[in-house]
Amino acid sequence: MAVRFLYSSYFSNLQILSEPLDIEDLVKAAKETKACPYYASRKASKEAQLVALPYNTLLHSGTREGVGIRVDNSVIILDEAHNIVESLSGMHSCSVTKSQLEDCSKGLKMYMNRYIKFFRPKKLLQLKQILFIQKSLIQILSK
C-alpha cells in the first residue's frame, strides 16, 4: 500500500495515512496533536484509500456531498447488503401523526388568514390544495 501524507490545519504535525484507522486510533491521534478527529477524518477521507462509513452516509446524496465523499472511480463494498432496502426506506420516509397534521393545518390556516391579501391567485390555490390534502389525511387517520 502506498503511503499517503496529509498535512492538515487540524493536525499540528504531518500525519501518515499508511494503514486504516478505526475511530479509537483516530481519536487517540487527534488528542495527541490537540486536533479535532471529526474534521481531521473529513479532510483525510479525500486522500484515503479506504473509507468505512454507514449506509446512510453513502446512499443519501445530500449527506454524502455534505461530508465530501466522492464515489466516482471508487470500488464500493457493502457489508451486510441485505440491510440496504431497510436503510433506504428509513432514509426516505417519515412518520406523521394526526396531531402533527392538525397542528400544521391550524398554522397554515392562520398564515393564510393573516397574509391572504398578499397572495397571488396561483399561490392561494396551492395553499388551499395543501389544506385539502391535510384534511384528507386527518380524516384517514381518524378512522
List pLDDT tens digits, range 22-47: 778 778 877 777 777 777 777 777 77
Distance (Å, rounded) from C-alpha 12 to C-alpha 30? Answer: 9
Residue scoring higher pLDDT (62 or 114)? 114
Q: How far is Cα 143 from Cα 46, in angstroms, rounded to an integer?
A: 52
pTM of the model: 0.50
> Counting Cβ atoms within 10 Å, is residue 40 exposed (0-12), middle (13-18) or buried (19+)?
buried
Please check the confidence at residue 17 and state whether its pLDDT lies above 50.
yes
**Predicted local confidence at residue 19, as pLDDT:** 67
What pLDDT is recorded for position 15?
A: 54
Higher local confidence (pLDDT), 45 or 140: 140
Q: Is 12's pLDDT higher than 60?
A: no
Percent of residues, the chain, with pLDDT higher than 90: 34
Domain assignments of the chain as residue spans, ordered by start: 1-51, 53-94, 98-142
Confidence grade of residue 113 (pLDDT, cut at 50, 70, 90): very high
Residue 44 class from Cβ within 10 Å (0-12 exposed, 13-18 middle, 19+ buried)? buried
The per-residue pLDDT for range 51-70, each reduced to its tens digit, is: 888 888 888 888 888 888 88
